[in-house]
Structure 1
Amino acid sequence: MRKSLLALGVVAAISGQAVAADYSDDIHKNDSKFINFNLMHTINEKPGNTDHTYLEMEFGGRSGMFDLYGYVDVFNLDDDDDSDKSGSDRLFAKFAPRLSLDALTGTDLSFGPVQELYIANYTVIDGGAKHKIKTDKVENGQPVYDEKNPGYQSMIGLGSDVMVPWFGKMQFNLYANYDIKQKDWNGYQFSTNWFKPFFFFDNGSFISYQGYLDYQFGMKDEYSSSSTGGSMFNGIYWHNKQFAVGYGLKLYDNVYGIKDSDAFESSGVGHYFAVTYKF
């Protein structure tokens, strides 16, 4: 599938036109799926400059008119009391389903470089209870903790697949954010992601530039200390059919709407190291 996406990107870059999604004969002809298990280690993850190792189950694909991406993270695998994740919830989950408007209506909605349009959702579940996060501060020889409320937000908006020169097909999605815990709307989010193989070896393996950008804006003062915030992941990964190994540089700016401070950093740089097994 990745080779076909690469070919589509080359065609679009040459012609200047999108290759429209065609569902006229078989709505399931482009179906695909993947499941990856990723062992991740992060250094200076924001907010809070956290170092920890975790297991991630990543999954996604296409089935008829539905497109899906998601993952579930499991933290503090060895239940280490000295871990930066000690005392925190063990799970973090993200689900990002999209419903194709082209497939739903049976209409070619492509235009220019836009290949397909979607109703897009982005739901994040961050634990289930209030918990404490270790900060860099120390008082009386003991670490100081900040209390963190669980996150449960579901965003709804318009999504698209767009052919971009060199990158090929990229997602561009714009959401309105509904905070389920607060029972209120709280700003907007723009998201995009990419997967670009750029160097191929004779044995079929390759190196890719892959990542994503999530940027929130228009958040309310009563729920967020910053009205804007976001993060950008920039990964360089080696892939073969069964495995992947990579490094990601993640850039943060008031991430999750938390205003950056010396006591609790929410802006800066984090480092991610990953080993992946593909099912």
Structure 2
Amino acid sequence: MKSKQVTTTLLIGLCTAATATTANAEMIWQDFSVSYLNGSDYEVGDKDRQVITFEHASGHSWGDTFFFLDRLKWDDGTTENYSEFSPRASLSHLSGSSLSFGPVKDVLISTTWESGEGFDNFLYGVGFALDVPGFNYFNLNFYQADNDESDDDQQLTWTWGLPVEIGGAEFLWDGFLDWSSASDTNSAEMNWTSQVKWNAGKLLGLSSPLYLGIEYSFWNNKFGIKDADERNAALLVKWHF
């Protein structure tokens, strides 16, 4: 319990310190989206599932944030909520000196709060924002996890977004890869989930993207359960505001 309290305090403290370092802190950009997924090969629970996801991402002079909430509905009627909130504080901003070098644009203090049905996990560590040609963003985060229902472990998270234009049509390949180390209670797991989608909103004359596509989940030892391997393709509709 003491460790959990310390980690919670650290997460709140980092968010507060980042936003309060200067009166000139400002929001540079933000994005909000709602998506719908429908797949039939999920592991752990009912294989048929529908998911509505609300996402918000923002960039600030002090760092960036990412939040999502999944509302899952299984084919048997069971519902479940899961969310993550991931603020990162720029060490360049906090120190007043640029920490960019080579392909590294910035070094950040990275935190994540994972919240599900009856549990809360807290992750903290260091992140790197990379400048990779062609990509909208390319991030690496290295975490120590303070878990509620299993032994603590370490996690690597990679996120990316790669836009592609073919014959005037706009496509986007984006997603994440989470790798978590093994512990006495969990097997090592890897969750590589990505989306390939077409911006139908451009054809419809919309000012913001309306994507149609597929999300594919390649997840080994899902939730740390040995041999619970997920290979799930889900139809996707995603609207950005």
TM class by shorter chain equals: 0.7 to 0.9
Q: Deviation per CA, 1:141-163, whole angstroms, max 9, x where unpaired?
A: xxxxxxxxxx4211100001112
Q: Deviation per CA, 1:78-113, whole angstroms, max 9, x where unpaired?
A: xxxx82452x5x311111111111111111001111
1:235·1:249 contact (CA, 8 Å) conserved in 2?
A: yes
* Equivalent of 1:259 in 217, 226, 230: 226
2:126·2:141 contact (CA, 8 Å) conserved in 1?
A: yes
* Equivalent of 1:272 in 209, 234, 237: 234
Paired AA for residue 270 in structure 1 = N
Q: Secondary structure at the match of 1:103?
A: helix
CA distance in 1, matches of 2:138, 2:62: 18
- Long gaps (5+) in structure 2: 1-23, 202-207
CA distance in 2, matches of 1:234, 1:72: 17
Give the match for residue 215 of structure 1: 179
Give the match for residue 147 of structure 2: 179
CA distance in 2, matches of 1:67, 1:52: 31
Give the match for residue 99 of structure 1: 89
1:179-258, aligned counterparts within 5 Å? 179-181=147-149, 186-202=152-168, 206-217=170-181, 219-221=182-184, 223-224=185-186, 226=187, 228-239=188-199, 240=201, 241-258=208-225
Shift of 1:165: 4.3
Inter-CA distance 216–43: structure 2 relative to 1 (3 Å threshold):
same
Q: Which has the higher contact order (CA 8 A, sep 6+)?
A: 1
CA distance in 1, matches of 2:46, 2:132: 34
Q: Aligned pairs, how many?
A: 211
2:222·2:230 contact (CA, 8 Å) conserved in 1?
A: no
Inter-CA distance 84–98: structure 2 relative to 1 (3 Å threshold):
farther
Q: Secondary structure at the match of 2:97?
A: coil
Inter-CA distance 275–254: structure 2 relative to 1 (3 Å threshold):
same
Shift of 1:32: 0.6
Paired AA for residue 102 in structure 2 = G
The alignment yields a C-alpha RMSD, in angstroms, of 2.1
CA distance in 2, matches of 1:158, 1:49: 36
Give the fraction of aligned pairs with identical amino acids, expressed as a percent: 21
Q: Deviation per CA, 1:212-251, whole angstroms, max 9, x where unpaired?
A: 100001x321x32x1x102101321112424111202210
CA distance in 2, matches of 1:272, 1:106: 44
Q: Secondary structure at the match of 2:195?
A: strand
CA distance in 1, matches of 2:122, 2:176: 18
CA distance in 1, matches of 2:216, 2:131: 25
Larger radius of gyration: 1
Higher helix share: 2
